[in-house]
Amino acid sequence: DGGITQSPKYLFRKEGQNVTLSCEQNLNHDAMYWYRQDPGQGLRLIYYSQIVNDFQKGDIAEGYSVSREKKESFPLTVTSAQKNPTAFYLCASSFAVGGDQPQHFGDGTRLSIL
Amino acid sequence: AQSVSQHNHHVILSEAASLELGCNYSYGGTVNLFWYVQYPGQHLQLLLKYFSGDPLVKGIKGFEAEFIKSKFSFNLRKPSVQWSDTAEYFCAVNSPAGGTSYGKLTFGQGTILTVHP
């Protein structure tokens, strides 16, 4: 079955540590996205990528970094500069950015601070 | 920048009650509108979408939504809810072309629906 795979499901970070969240899709989608979900705040866009080797900052990019070396993969690094990283992180993809392209979501990674 | 507002954080209903979840957006240009649903323990999935044409759109599981351009609203409705509709519902909007909001899907805060059997 085609879909989006996020790993790990749960992740713990120590103070001052960088951690990387994995997102892989086999839907042949060009566009990929990272969102952060906090209770009562909905989903907020961290980064998105329209195509391989290209990505743009979303609304809350500070303290995060991404890469898009392969079409199927869009890993997110939560750096030590992100002072409040505890949240649920969702990866999504779509055929193209914007327009009438609905996004397909993974199951998410829950990040907590030790 | 566009924004989306959902009026209720938590709605509690009994089975067979009617449902209406409010959603308002702030972008003045052409928009595409979506409702997503997140059932407990499951990933976010598309419930319905509006791009153009008939402002009353029908989605999965008996849900529908009406786009009222003059009110910047896209309310979600269901005539008779079931226990299995218990989930969190998100309204979202993007702009189809151009502008600083292009490519960004902006979500509302979410509404938790609890349906008692």
Cα radius of gyration rounded to whole Å, chain B: 14
Residue A114 has pLDDT above 90, yes or no: no
Measured between alpha carbons, how far is A90 from B114 in angstroms, rounded to an integer?
23
Measured between CB atoms, does A49 come within 8 Å of chain B? no
Closest Cα of chain A to B62: distance in Å? 19
3-state secondary structure of A55: strand
Q: So what's the pLDDT on residue B102? A: 58
pLDDT digits (tens, 9 = 90+) for B19-44: 999 999 987 778 889 999 999 988 89
Any chain A CB within 8 A of the CB of B44?
yes
Q: What is the dihedral of CA B18, B21, B22, B25, to 10 degrees?
A: -140
Q: Which of A42, A103, A106 sits opposite B108 (nearest CB)?
A: A42
Chain A contact for B3, CB < 8 A? no
State whether residue B28 sits within 8 Å of chain A by CB.
no
Confidence grade of residue A99 (pLDDT, cut at 50, 70, 90) = low
The residues pairing with A5 across neighbouring beta strands, listed in sequence order, are: A24
Q: Does residue B105 have a pLDDT over 90? A: no
**Set of chain B residues whose Cβ sits within 8 Å of the Cβ of A102:** 34, 46, 49
Residue B11, both tokens = 């709605």
- Is the pLDDT reported for residue A41 higher than 90? no
The predicted-structure confidence for B57-85, as pLDDT tens digits, reads as follows 999 999 999 999 999 999 999 999 999 99
CA distance A59 to A45: 6
What is the rounded distance in angstroms from the CA atom of residue A27 to the CA atom of residue A13? Answer: 30
Write down the pLDDT at residue B103: 62
Mean pLDDT of A1-19: 89
B105 touching chain A per CB within 8 A: yes
Nearest CA in chain B to A40: B109
Distance CA A77, CA B96 (A): 29
Burial of residue B45, with CB atoms counted within 10 A of its CB: 0-12 exposed, 13-18 middle, 19 or more buried: middle
| pLDDT, average across residues B84-94 | 94
**Nearest chain A CA: its distance from B4 CA (Å):** 10
Of A66, A79, A32, A37, the C-alpha closest to A51 is A32
Contact A44, A57 (CB under 8 A): no
